[in-house]
Structures are given as C-alpha cells and as structure tokens.
Amino acid sequence: MKLIASLTSPFARKVRIALLEKKIDCPLETSQPWEADSVVPQYNPLGKVPVLVLDDGSALYDSRVIVEYLDSISPVSRLFPQDTRSLIAVRRWEALADGICDAAAAIVVEQRRPAAQQSPEWIARQQHKVERGLAQLSADLGDRLWCNGEGYGIADIAVGVCLGYLDFRFPQFDWKTLHPNLAALQQKLAARASFADTLPPAA
C-alpha cells in the first residue's frame, strides 16, 4: 500500500494525518497532478490527489473514501462514530470543510492565471463560499471542545486541515479574529504530532 500525494494538498494532508493517528505505516510518493510527467492519472482518471494504491494494485480516491477505508482496517483511534446519526453529522462536518478547501483552491488556481485572464467575479464568488463556510463551521462548533461534541475524530481533522490551508494560501485573511472558537480549535489541533508532522512546506 502506498499514498500518492502532494505535500501542499489539504485533502492529502487529511489522509496523512489519518494514517498517523491510526498508526498505519504507509509509504508516501509525492507527485504534482498538474505536471506533465505526473503518475497520478495512471491511478485516478480524474488526475487528483490523494490516491491510495492498495497491495492488489487497485486505487482508492478521493480523501473521504480513503480515510473511511483506513478507519475500517485498524481499530486504533477510531475516527468515525459507529451509530448512524453521529456518522451523518460527522460526514456533514467533513463535507463542509472539504468544500471550503475546494473554494480556496479554486481561488489559488484562478490567481495563477495571467492577470488579464483572471475573473474578479469568480474569485469573489469563491471567497464568499469560504466566508459563509467558516461562519457555519463556527456556528456549529459553538463552545464545544470538539466538532461532533463526542471527542476527537475525522470532523476535527477535516476542519483543522481546512483552517491550516487557509493560513497557508491566504495568510492575509484574518479569519481568527472573526471566529475565535475556530482559532482555539486550530491551536489545540496544532499541538498534536499528526498535525505538526504534516505541515505544508514553506512557500
């Protein structure tokens, strides 16, 4: 089994954190999907990371599928709750955090285009998604210690990765002042070895 990932992808970081929390030893092969010689399309027809290549040569994608698979193969540090109601709530957290990352990544891609070809309206639309998404995360978290209220799990990993990606790509965006409860959660998560060991490389 091996993980194909980019060190700057928030979705790949989510999987890498899950591997560390689950204490699963898995080799990492770094690959940038947009490079011409990337191996990613060989395993994922969508050309996206992360991809988990299993021992039989089959591949799993995207990050939500991978982390659920990882949780199923090891009883260590369960990341998903077992009862259906809690599981749906946790998946909602993950979907929202991933959606914020999608919108933020869309801004990054757009801003890499030549200035004359960029669409300010498109960037603003994605920015509004990020802002609304953060407001919802903050409202849902309230004064709880963990996202689902029952302890650390995949919801916290997804939200923590999302917040870290915003800091990585948009350091000028002061979301911490707007949402101090999310900032407190991020600070707590940053103290975990799994988060510290998977920080994206400095630009």
Q: What's the whole-model pTM score?
A: 0.96
Helix pair angle (120-141, 84-111), 10° resolution: 150
Range of the structural domain that residue 22 is part of: 2-73
Judged on CB neighbours under 10 Å (0-12, 13-18, 19+), 11 is buried
158 belongs to a structural domain: yes
133-184 pLDDT, tens digit each: 999 999 999 999 999 987 999 999 999 999 999 999 999 999 999 999 999 9
Among 48, 73, 98, the domain-final residue is 73
Q: How do 51-53 and 28-30 pair as beta strands? A: unpaired
CATH number for the domain harbouring residue 150? 1.20.1050.10
Give the CA dihedral 59, 52, 106, 176, nearest 10 degrees. 150
- Give pLDDT tens digits for 43-102: 999 999 999 999 999 999 999 999 999 999 999 999 999 999 999 999 999 999 999 999
pLDDT band at residue 132 using 50, 70 and 90 as cut-offs? very high
Residue 14 above 70 pLDDT?
yes
At 62, is the secondary structure helix, strand, or coil?
A: coil
Nearest to 5 by CA among 36, 24, 21, 27: 27
- Say what the alpha-carbon torsion angle 144, 148, 154, 156 is, to the nearest 10 degrees: -20
Two structure tokens written together for 159: 């939200």
Residue 36 confidence class, pLDDT cut points 50, 70, 90:
confident
Do 92 and 189 reside in the same domain of the chain?
Answer: yes
